[in-house]
Amino acid sequence: MGDSLRKTCPCLETLWDRLFGEKKYPGWASNVNAVSKNDFSVDSSQNERQSTPSKALQPPDPKEPQTTESSIYMALWGFEARANEELTFQTGDLFNVISRSGDWWTARKIDKNGRILATGIVPYNYLARGESVHAQPWYFGKLNRFEAISHLMSSENREGAFLVRVSEKDNVGHVLSVKDGRQAKHFKVYEKDGRYHVEPTQTFSSLIDLVEFYMTHSLGTVEHLGQACTRKEPVPQDLSHSTVDEWELPKDEFTVCEQLGSGYFADVHRGIWKNRINVAIKILKNDSLNDREFQGEVQILKKMRHRHLIALFAVCTSSTPYFIITELMQNGNLLNFLRSPDGSNLDLMSLVDMGAQVADGMAYLEEQNSIHRDLAARNVLVGDNYICKVADFGLARVIKEPFYVSEDKKIPYKWSSPEAISHGRFSNKSDVWSFGVLLWEILTYGGIPYPGFNNMEVYQQINKGYRMPAPEICPDFLYKIMLACWRYSPSDRPEFKELRHELENVSRYELDK
């Protein structure tokens, strides 16, 4: 059957061979990304920043050039259409991609003979190019150490479960992560002159060959690689393709379920869109918003996409109270999570990972010239694998500030910079001040900043030069980062891109100092 298909449909030859194992092609390694040439080892004691999320497997770049008819993609997960123009498909289905537009592609669903079965729109991160390493079940793309451990140590995975990932830490490149007893071990994959190795005595022409070798040979204390790590389905960044440019949706499309939280400005509920998709529904308490300003902010925020920012799906503003619809994060806000049993058991490296994720999201806002104005642990949400995403960005100006003006006692003094309190001067550097306080919250497992001080005392003491002491578990270098964030002059504070770099590149040695 394989030979027959090769003759009748040569464009599927490589994919057929790989899927059904009748022939081995070295071309399967042709799209493997080069790894860093910096020679330093990675083991289970080294830190890599937690990030990306919700991506258990690195999909193709949605902005890459249009494919030819012979480019075959394979579905990594099943997907149920949410709009008429979208395609429903199953894991393993094959596609020709016709065109790309952001996170949604137009594609032809085909059978193994190349016959067209249907044409429609599909989420790009559910597909992988069939002849590339990205289609391998063990290739997870960009993933940090913390996420890799969370995946591998899941009860679904047995001893020897493994994955290959691209580290998010600078100059590391590919890493082979393996479940070994009650821990995960991490091995840097070196690349030189087109060959790959973990051990200098064994080199390979591709990542696929390297993995196949260690499935029957030992690697350090690991007897051999077992099954590929179970991977989780990604979360689309929109409710459907039809809502990408339509952010105003009718309330009757949503079912409001149990309340998840309540604040000065809104109550948050779990919700369901069209009886199909779980979402978070924020019901605003302020009925006197400037509608034009609100819609303008929403239009800007809908276009902001980052792995550490909450995805804004839609708003409902045809009647009060207004609804803001976002992705649902299973573990709630970071403040409550840190105080929970799961959060209170996190080690120092995991806490640093969380701070780095927030810095990553804030660095993106900084690049977009967007100011948060209310950064705090209560406004960061936690999802699966302890992914952290910044929430409530952008809308603080139109939702919260009018309330702060009329209700001075509600101003978050303990998180606000001196210039924001005294003159209402908000900037990315005032956000940096707040980030320093957020780091303090993380390192105290959800402690209350400036314990024993009221709001006015906090403001007065800060102006006199007082700064909170280091938390008990805080290493010197982390406390220095906090103090840098709390420099009185905004121009003296670091940028978020600097903070991200510092926290991304933390080593175990620094944490132990």
Active-site positions read 374
Pair type for strands 162-166 and 139-142? parallel
Burial letters 477-502, b for 16+ CB under 10 A, else e: ebbebbebbbbeebeebbebeebbbb
Binding site listing: 282
Binding site listing for ATP: 282
Pair type for strands 183-188 and 323-326? unpaired
Which residues are CB-contacts of 416 (< 8 A; sequence separation ≥ 6)? 430, 433, 434
Token pair listed for 311? 């995805």
DSSP 3-state of 126: helix
Q: Token match 């092609």: residue?
A: 25
Q: Please state, in angstroms and rounded to a whole number, the distance separating the CA atoms of residues 251 and 396.
A: 23
Torsions phi, psi for 98 (to 5 deg) = -95, -50
Spatial contact of 189 and 196, defined as CB atoms under 8 Å apart: yes
Task: Provide the CA 140 distance to its chain's centre, in angstroms.
Answer: 13
H helices, E strands: number in the chain: 16, 18
- Burial class of residue 66 (count of CB atoms within 10 Å of its CB; 0-12, 13-18, 19+): exposed
Task: Provide the CA 403 distance to its chain's centre, in angstroms.
Answer: 32
Task: Provide the CA 384 distance to its chain's centre, in angstroms.
Answer: 10
AA letter at 327: E
Angle between helices 348-367 and 145-152 (to 10 degrees): 130
**C-alpha distance across the termini of the chain, in Å:** 63
Spatial contact of 326 and 277, defined as CB atoms under 8 Å apart: no
How many other C-beta atoms can be found within 10 angstroms of the C-beta atom of residue 52?
24
129 closest CA partner among 20, 199, 27: 27
Q: Token match 């997907």: residue?
A: 79
